[in-house]
Structure 1
Amino acid sequence: MISAVAERRTRRGSAGRSRRVPPAAGVVLASGAGTRVGAEMNKVYLPLAGRRLVSWSLDAFGRVPEIGALVLVARPQDKDLVDWVLDREVDASVEVVYGGETRQESELRALRWLSSRIDEGSVDTVLIHDAARPLVSPALIAGVLHEAREHGGAIPALPAGDLVAVDEAGELTGQEPASIVRAQTPQGFRAGPLLEVYERAARDDFVGTDTASVMERFSGLPVRWVRGEQQNFKITYPHDLVVAEQVLAAADYRT
């Protein structure tokens, strides 16, 4: 059972909108602290181009028609900030779930919150995204969703062309390193297997590095990679916020 409080929220005036609810869910993780950015608050609530950082990701998911359920995983102590953002900056209907002590526990709580819909088939795919990547585009979200539905799992990534091969002594070998990509989020998987794998990981006390690593450990589903976006970088240090401001200032960024 989920011990954290969970709630459904809809921005005022949006409840009357009628549209078909597609069978896919987006989960935006905002339950970390982000201390390396040097702020006194959770970094996902820092201002970015006139809005709170987390609202950019929520807006991107809200603009993808295939996303029928949007879940924000938050910390209980950030409730006032969550209320402020959802009331003022987000048009989409957002369900709020309180996260756990780790990223993986927070993911599991979101999946358990969606479990009844997963079991009945009204959610067929789940995409999990890090709120610290505010510049994700709706096009990338839709691309990951398409590949996940087609093949079982998908992650966005960029080729790691700046890596070199070395031997055990630390000497350059002159050989090309094996094909390596730098993983991003959202990472998407068929909902049923994803929930089953996360429950098994919890029973076995296995902690992965990201969603894909947990799936690779316990599932035979293939995981495809979709070419990511340069602007879909993670806000980790103060200068990352400066770069993000510059990207958002570019003309026609969201088109």
Structure 2
Amino acid sequence: MTTDTAPRCFALLPCAGSGTRAGTAQPKQYQAIDGMPMVLHTLSAFGSVAHIAQVLLVVAPDDRFLSIDHPDVRVLPCGGASRAESVRNGLMALLEAGALAHDWVLVHDAARCLVTPAQIGALIAACANDAVGGLLALKLPDTLKAEAGGRVSATLDRSDKWLAQTPQMFRIGPLLEALQAQAGKDFAGVTDEASAMEMAGFAPKLVPGSAQNFKVTYPEDFALAEAILRSRS
């Protein structure tokens, strides 16, 4: 890809979900952990990475929880009915605001509030010269079982299995094209950005992540996340 400008790195956080499995009275990304909403821990990590030109938070159209006055953070109420739709809408907003198709975007779960600047930097370093891009991921540590009728039907080979994490880093143009190609099917099968790129024929790079970079999903996850944050401080 030929361009006159060096590609920039943007961060996009889909933040329009309700997080029903978390059992919180409000969307889980706004649940306080160690004294402040989860999403603010996530923003703090990205704000500490010099390579990130701007962070875009994609929230639901009626979301008024966050009001951030910072030149490097934008809150846009263009969230969709699914994560994939929110990311697609956010990518379009980035392009409309002056980002270029060859610029990089790091898409990250707002609920992965334990990500560190070092992990973000490692992903950028690993993918900056890659033709496709990639994602943080963790080699499967446990024995993997297949199930049938509530019982084990087989033990599967785990040697080539990875748990996908975020951020996931791709060029804005190709990622938007990959998502648009699945929009007519309501983004069926698009569980993350890498899956959309795979459907488009690409093979994203796997970059080793950390077990601490887990997605806060269930009620018991909040206590664990808070313990880890307190141990760091």
Q: Identify the TM-score tier after normalising by the shorter chain.
A: 0.7 to 0.9
Match of 1:230 among 200, 211, 232: 211
1:190 aligns with one of 171, 178, 183: 171
Partner of 1:13: none
Q: Does the C-alpha gap of structure 1 residues 166 and 233 become closer, same or farther in structure 2, counting only changes over 3 Å? A: closer
State the SS of the aligned residue for 1:225: strand
Aligned pairs for 1:82-231 within 5 A: 82-83=66-67, 86=68, 93-98=72-77, 99-116=79-96, 117-119=98-100, 124-151=103-130, 152-164=132-144, 170-172=152-154, 176-203=157-184, 205-207=186-188, 208-220=190-202, 222-231=203-212
Equivalent position of 2:34 in the other structure: 49
CA offset at residue 171 of structure 1? Answer: 4.1
Quote the residue 2:52 is aligned against.
67
Q: Which has the higher helix share?
A: 1
Superposed, which structure 2 residues align to 1:15-34 within 5 Å?
A: 23-34=8-19
In structure 1, how many angstroms separate the alpha carbons of the residues matched to 2:187 and 2:221? 31
CA deviation vs aligned residue, 1:115-164 (integer Å, no higher than 9, x gap)? 2434375xx10010010110100111112122232222111111112133
Are the structure 2 counterparts of residues 204 and 178 from structure 1 closer, same or farther at C-alpha, using a change threshold of 3 Å? same
Q: Is the 8 A contact 1:149 1:190 kept in 2?
A: no
Tell whether the 8 Å contact from 2:14 to 2:59 is kept in structure 1 after alignment: yes
SS in 1 for 2:141: coil
Structure 2 Cα separation of the partners of residues 68 and 189 of structure 1: 15
Aligned partner letter, 1:23:
R
- 2:182 & 2:153 partners in 1: Cα distance? 38
Q: Distance in 2 between matches of 1:25 and 1:53?
A: 20
Q: Label 1:134 to 1:157 Cα distance change in 2 as closer, same or farther (>3 A).
A: same
Secondary structure of the structure 2 residue equivalent to 1:133: coil
SS at match of 2:144: coil
Residue 195 of structure 1: how far off its partner (Å): 1.8
Identity of aligned residues (%): 37
Distance 1:107 1:65 in 2: 23
Structure number with higher strand proportion: 2
Structure 1 gap ranges (5+): 1-20
CA displacement at 1:76 relative to structure 2:
2.7
Task: Give how far 1:40 is off.
Answer: 1.4
Q: Which residue in the other structure is 2:3 paired with?
A: none
What is the CA-CA distance between 1:114 and the residue it aligns to?
A: 1.1
Give the direction of change, closer, same or farther, for the CA distance of 1:120–1:43 in structure 2 (3 Å limit): closer
The verdict on how the C-alpha distance between 1:170 and 1:103 changes in structure 2, with shifts beyond 3 A counting, is same
| More displaced stretch, 193-202 vs 183-192 | 193-202
What TM-score, normalized by structure 2, do the two folds share? 0.86
CA contact (8 A) 2:42 2:113 kept: yes
One-letter amino acid matched to 1:196 = E
Query: Given the superposition, is the C-alpha separation of residues 70 and 62 from structure 1 closer, same or farther in structure 2, using an over 3 Å criterion?
Result: same
Q: Distance in 2 between matches of 1:128 and 1:48?
A: 22
The equivalent residue for 1:58 is: 43
Mark the CA change 1:50 to 1:178 in structure 2 (over 3 Å): closer, same or farther.
same
Could you tell me which amino acid in structure 2 is paired with residue 209 of structure 1? T
